[in-house]
Structure 1
């Protein structure tokens, strides 16, 4: 959810916030109970755009789980974890950027982390990483021939 959708100097009703973010009105009311400040305690309940944006940005920042060096994000554990030994693969894409893939040492589920090929020694120090070249993106492929026989 993009906090930047809320205009800073505009006031929003519950219905307007729900429409803006494609949510149900009860979700916006739950945000109010969770700490989204209303302009006042009168009806209809109104929210300042600046407060709405700050609230959503704080929720977004609070949900982030940054990975420390040597760790990848495990989708099942929902936390950064150490990879199982010998399972780390770097799939290179455009200009040295790519995705680190591995299996979680704790639960055996898939793990991912975006990285550049140049930063691999800093991210996965002491861990052997197998580098493979991924299939080219559709934008990088040769255009198809328009000549039909």
Structure 2
């Protein structure tokens, strides 16, 4: 926080390449350009990285995380499909209600009764699958 870093030093500190630091500068990371090499204040670097970090999004009990929408979504038509079973969990997939992308979620066996109350679950042995 109390140090100044060159682009090379900041890259080594964050374990990334110099071009990544240059992209951060292009995105708005403050730099002192009065002299060469350009310097990045440690406090500016910390603040910039904190603003860039997105908060973690948790899915509700009846939601799947859609990678295309980048948000928790309900399954289309309330239909889900069991893809595989483990000893303690099930892999479930559904279609996004908004963009129709395939979404996946893992549910433990003990959560399954409350989870299945909200959805129509298709037979894993059925011929057709949601993504087809």
TM class, shorter-chain normalised? Answer: 0.5 to 0.7
CA–CA distance in structure 1, aligned partners of residues 22 and 123 of structure 2: 48
The alpha-carbon deviation at position 53 of structure 1 amounts to 5.3
The alpha-carbon deviation at position 120 of structure 1 amounts to 3.4
The alpha-carbon deviation at position 29 of structure 1 amounts to 0.6
TM-score, length-scaled by structure 2: 0.58
| Long gaps (5+) in structure 1 | 1-7, 133-149
Cα distance change on mapping 1:119 and 1:42 into 2, 3 Å: farther
CA contact (8 A) 2:65 2:104 kept: yes
Q: Deviations over 1:57-80 (max 9, x none)?
A: 553334x44322211122333322
Q: In structure 2, what is the equivalent of residue 60 of structure 1?
A: 53
| Residue 11 of structure 2 is aligned to residue 15 of structure 1 | no
Q: Which has the higher strand share?
A: 2
The alpha-carbon deviation at position 96 of structure 1 amounts to 1.8
TM-score, length-scaled by structure 1: 0.54
Q: Deviations over 1:104-130 (max 9, x none)?
A: 123321112344332334556421335
The structure 2 residue matched to 1:117, chosen from 101, 109, 117, is 109
| Long gaps (5+) in structure 2 | 125-132
Q: In structure 1, what is the equivalent of residue 25 of structure 2?
A: 29
CA–CA distance in structure 2, aligned partners of residues 17 and 96 of structure 1: 44
Aligned-residue CA RMSD (Å): 3.7
Query: Across the two proteins, how many residue pairs are aligned to each other?
Result: 119
